[in-house]
């Protein structure tokens, strides 16, 4: 599966120190979203719609995440899927 550079750019904002200030995942995503152009937001949203449509198995989801440059990890696939869904949904916000 092709992973767009815009997704990797967004995920690069999720580094190991992201939650040390007590912020919530919605705040992490809002910060990362501000790093993208409007076109990049569209690209990432389309990618996440495809990734989360149910045709990708857990192993593929993990490969995409671990190859993204993100430095935060989730205890299981459901938590990762929920986080990616939150990103997708927040990309619709103004």
pLDDT band for 86, please (50, 70, 90 cuts). Answer: very high
Q: How many CA atoms lie within 13 A of 28 on its CB side?
A: 23
Give percent of the chain with pLDDT exceeding 90.
Answer: 65
pLDDT higher at 51 or 17: 51
Task: State the pTM of this model.
Answer: 0.88
pLDDT band for 11, please (50, 70, 90 cuts). Answer: very high
pLDDT higher at 73 or 37: 37
pLDDT at 91: 92
């Amino acid at each position: 599966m092709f992973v767009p550079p815009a997704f990797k750019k967004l995920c690069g904002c999720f580094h190991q120190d992201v939650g040390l200030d007590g912020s919530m995942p919605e705040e992490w995503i809002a910060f990362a979203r501000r790093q993208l152009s409007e076109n990049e937001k569209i690209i990432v949203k389309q990618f996440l719609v495809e990734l989360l449509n149910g045709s990708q198995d857990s192993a593929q989801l993990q490969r995409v995440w671990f190859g993204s440059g993100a430095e935060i990890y989730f205890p299981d696939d459901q938590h990762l899927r929920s986080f990616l869904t939150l990103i997708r949904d927040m990309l619709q916000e103004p």
